[in-house]
Structure 1
């Protein structure tokens, strides 16, 4: 090895041993976050135009997600990914899922979750009617000499006269979003099994999911108009 010293340098120090390791900043990674994760990240940082030039935002309407790669040309870029997910409080009701309950099981479930109802007294009235439902049908059937064709008619009669046609819940539909008022119906079959259905919920999910994603995109674009945005 030949070393030449120039520009008036008279002394050269050579160190022998292991060099200090090169340190690279560890990336921030958020996976499985809520749909507003990318906006939350960007709104809390002081971002230069150069860094935005090296960043990108990906989104998908079908899978309802946003993914931010912040300063993507760095060795360890931050990756912030969030998606629009149904709220756990809503999911446990199994609305429109086809899940069946017995009238007693549904009554117990409603009693333990009455705090989600718009009216708690109404919820407890529903609990009482569900617990008495099967017994009332059976008592009326015992009073008849011919049960053929009567069971379905009696069930319809009891549902129309005793069981409320529906009830209202107040809870968020999506994670990170405000509460919504949703009408839910109880469907009861000839074997006394129950299921919860809600055309309002189906419509809300279909129409609002794209609106929520667009709202996030618009806020991010307003915050950083130069950010590259790609649809997948």
Structure 2
């Protein structure tokens, strides 16, 4: 549709050229985004990228010990800065054991679980020995209760007695605790209640998670700072 334009020129301008049509679109480069990557994601990005010293001055790292993450915004003053997030997460192989989670199994269920996951044990033969003892456990307790019943409710004591004599006090797993980290040797115990519920507990694992998580973040931040001392780092 034609439009009537009224234009006034001043300061001696004698000619005015008017161009009509569609302007070229403004292009904004697409950012690289990594969300929920492994904890070393920011370090990997910086170590493999040709970093402009001027751009790194306008970039920043944010980290949090409570939520166990490191976030990099590369060229944060740009419309679309690269965003790299690394999170320290428990390894799926560890999570499937439900250690310290309160999850319970019957002795037979736990023996089946151990049998199917014996490749995580430090000693597979030891794992299969544990499988056999768990399968026999409930029957052994019941037989002892029948043989030693004194009418005074000593079932819990008898269960403890059978546990001590038949179930190994502890076993060892070899698997990574966190994604992107090497395998660790973990000591695990089997807790059994008076109703024959079994659960896996490990004080060592709890301590390791609490202590090493901070150490792993600190190590990543230290290497990033050594690589780019001018990069701003903020704790949230």
Q: Same fold (TM over 0.5)?
A: yes
Gap change, CA 1:45 and 1:173, over 3 Å in 2: same
Deviation at 1:89, TM superposition (A): 0.8
> Which residue among 21, 28, 31 is the counterpart of 1:27?
31
Q: Distance in 2 between matches of 1:145 and 1:59?
A: 60
Unaligned regions of 5+ residues in structure 2, if any? 1-6
Task: Give the 3-state SS of the residue equivalent to 1:101 in structure 2.
Answer: coil
Deviation at 1:155, TM superposition (A): 1.1
Task: Give the 3-state SS of the residue equivalent to 2:198 in structure 1.
Answer: strand
Q: Residue in 2 aligned with 1:81?
A: 85
Task: Give the 3-state SS of the residue equivalent to 2:29 in structure 1.
Answer: coil
Gap change, CA 1:185 and 1:15, over 3 Å in 2: same
What is the root-mean-square deviation of aligned Cα atoms in Å?
A: 1.8
Q: Give the TM-score normalised by structure 2.
A: 0.90
Larger deviation, residues 138-147 vs 93-102: 138-147
Q: Distance in 2 between matches of 1:71 and 1:144?
A: 75
Q: Distance in 1 between matches of 2:78 and 2:227?
A: 22
Unaligned regions of 5+ residues in structure 1, if any? 5-10
1:67 and 2:84 are equivalent in the alignment? no
8 Å CA contact retained: 1:141, 1:147: no
Deviation at 1:3, TM superposition (A): 8.1
Deviation at 1:60, TM superposition (A): 1.1
Q: Residue in 1 aligned with 2:174?
A: 170
Task: Give the 3-state SS of the residue equivalent to 2:62 in structure 1.
Answer: strand
> Which residue among 139, 146, 154 is the counterpart of 1:142?
146
Question: May I ask how many residue pairs the two structures share in their alignment?
Answer: 226
Q: Distance in 1 between matches of 2:125 and 2:17?
A: 86
Deviation at 1:61, TM superposition (A): 1.3
Q: Give the TM-score normalised by structure 1.
A: 0.92
Q: Residue in 1 aligned with 2:212?
A: 208
> Which residue among 72, 75, 96 is the counterpart of 1:92?
96
CA offset digits 1:37-89 (Å, max 9, x no partner): 10011111010111101100011112111110000111100111111111111
Superposed counterparts of 1:105-124, under 5 Å: 105-124=109-128
